[in-house]
Structure 1
C-alpha cells in the first residue's frame, strides 16, 4: 500500500539523519578520531547482528559460497576505503559540507562508466547536474570560513571510493549475492582489515589514552552509532524492496537535505553566503541527477 511505502521512507530518513548526527557527535564533539577502531567497532556489531538475524530467520540470507565472497572482495576493499576516509573527513568537516563533497562522487561514477562503456552517451541533463555538483565541491574549500586541508583530502578519498563502489555494486555480474549478503562480506572483511591496521596506524595506542574512554556519554555514543548503522542497513534494504530505484533515490536525497538543514541546530557551524551557495547548488545538482536518471539503472 502507498502509506506503507511512505512509512518505510520516513523510517529510513529518520534513521539516516540520527545515524549521521551520532557519528558526527562521536567523531567531532567527543573528538574520537580513531577510525580503525570506530569503524571496526561498527562493522563488528553490524556483522554480529546481521549473522544473528540471519540465523534466527529475521532476515533472508543464504549461505555465502567461497567463490562468491572472493569475487566480491574488490567491493569490500572499496567499502573499507569509503568508511575509513569518510570517518576521517566527517570528523573535520561539517555535515552540509561533507554531503556537498560526497555528491561529487557521481562524477567519479560517470567517468568510470564512460571509460568502461565507451559507447554510452550521457544525457545532457545528467551532464549539467554532475557539472553543478563538481563545481560546488571544487569551490567549497575556497569559500569555507574554516577550511581543514586534512578533512578535504580525506573527503576526496571518500568520494572516489563511493563513486567506484556504486558502479561496482550496480554492475556486479553475479546474481548469487543479495544486498544483505554483500554487506555481510563487507562487514567481515572490514573487521579483519581494520583490526589488523589498528596498531600500525597508532589508533590503538591513542584510544587507550583517550580522555573520555571511561565516559558514559562516549560508551552510549559508540553503542548507538553501531546499532543505528545496522538499523540503517535494514531500513535501506526494506525501502529498496518496496520502491522503485527512482523513488529510492528520492528518499536518499530528501534524507541528506534534512540532515544538512538540521545539522546547524545541533552542531556549531561557521558558514557564509558563498559556502552556503555551494551547498545549495550541490543539492540542486543532485535533484537534477535524480530526475535525469529516473529511467536508468545507475
Structure 2
C-alpha cells in the first residue's frame, strides 16, 4: 500500500513539473500572451475530458444540482481570476520567482481566516507566514528582470489562490467532490473567457500571432490542455490516498523540483539576493507544513 502512495506522489510531481514547463514554454518562449484564449482552450478541453471520463465511468461524478452549482459560483470566479492572472504573471516571470510570489497566497488565507474566526495564530505558523511575506516583498527589489506588470498580475494571482483555498474549506455544505467542483470551474471559465475574448483584444491579437500555424505551437497548446487535466486527476488521486499534510509535502517537493530544473530549461537572469528570496520563501513554506503537522498531533 505504501509503494502505491509513493507512485501517486511521484506521478503528481512529474505531471506538475511538466505542466508548468509546458505552460511557460507557450507563454514565454512562443510568447502567446493571450490568456483568455489560452486559458479558455485549457478549460474547454479540461471540461470536455472530465465530462467524457465521467460518462464512461472512469471517474466518479454525481449529477450536479442547480443549487450546488450556484453556491459554488464565487469559487469559480476566484478560479478564473487565479488562472487568468497566473497566466499573465507566468508569461513575465521566471518560474522560481512565480512560485515565490505564489507562496504568499498563504498570507492571504491566514488573514482571511483570522478575520473570519478571530483565532490566535501559532507562533511557528506566524513565523512561516512572515518569512514568505518578507521574501515576496523583497524579491522585486533584487529581480534582474523586474517587470511591473508581471508582479501586479502575480499579486492578483496569489490573492485569488489564497481566497479560493479558504472558500474550499469554508464551503463544505455544498457536498461537491473535488472533480465536481472543478467541473463547475471549467464550465464557468469557458463561458466567461469566451465572452471576454473579443473585448480584451485577445481574439484579434491571436489572429496576427506569428506562430499561429506552427506545429510546435499546436503541440504545446494541446499538451498544456491535456496535462492540466492529468494534473487534476493526479491531484484528486493524491488527496484520496494521503492526508492534506502529506499532499502539501508532495506539492512542496514538486515546486522545489520545478525550481531546480527550470534554469536548465529556460533562460533566467538571476543573482544571489533573488535566489535567497526564493530560498527563504520555501523555507517559510516548509515551516508552515511542519506547523500544520504539529497542530494535528
SS of the counterpart of 1:268?
A: coil
Superposed CA deviations along residues 20-65 of structure 1, whole A, max 9, x for unmatched, are: 0000000000000000000000000000000000000000000000
Q: What pairs with 1:224-239 in structure 2 (closer than 5 Å)?
A: 224-239=223-238
Moved over 4 A (4+): none
Task: Give, in angstroms, the shift of residue 176 of structure 1.
Answer: 2.1
**Does residue 293 of structure 2 align to residue 294 of structure 1?**
yes
Conservation of the 8 A alpha-carbon contact between 2:89 and 2:154:
yes
Which residue of structure 1 aligns with residue 148 of structure 2? 149
> What is the distance in 1 between the residues matched to 2:25 and 2:195?
26
Matched, 1:16 2:19: no
Q: Secondary structure at the match of 1:64?
A: coil
Deviations along 1:114-151, whole A, 9 cap, x unmatched? 11111x11100000000000000000000001100000
Q: Is the 8 A contact 1:105 1:163 kept in 2?
A: yes
Unaligned 5+ residue runs, structure 1? none
Aligned-partner Cα distance in 1 for 2:186–2:120: 35
Aligned to 2:173, the other structure's residue is in SS state coil
Partner of 2:38: 38
Q: Does 1:102 align with 2:102?
A: yes
Structure 2 CA distance for partners of 1:295 and 1:189, relative to 1, 3 Å: farther
The number of equivalent residue pairs is 296
SS of the aligned residue for 2:172 comes to coil
TM-score, reference length from structure 1: 0.98
- Aligned partners of 1:86, 1:16: CA distance in 2, in Å? 15
Using a 3 Å threshold, how does the CA distance of structure 1 residues 296 and 83 change in structure 2: closer, same or farther?
farther
TM-superposed deviation, 1:253: 0.2
Give the unaligned 5+ runs of structure 2. none
- Following superposition, the deviation at residue 170 of structure 1 comes to 1.3
Offset of residue 173 of structure 1: 3.0
| 1: CA distance, partners of 2:103 / 2:155 | 11
**Counterparts of 1:1-298 in structure 2 under 5 Å?**
1-118=1-118, 120-294=119-293
Give me the TM-score of the superposition, normalised by structure 2: 0.99
Give the Cα separation in 1 of the matches to 2:23 and 2:239: 24
**Aligned 8 A contact 2:93 2:150 in 1:** yes
Distance in 2 (alpha carbons) for counterparts of 1:294 and 1:37: 40
The CA RMSD over aligned residues, in Å, is 0.8
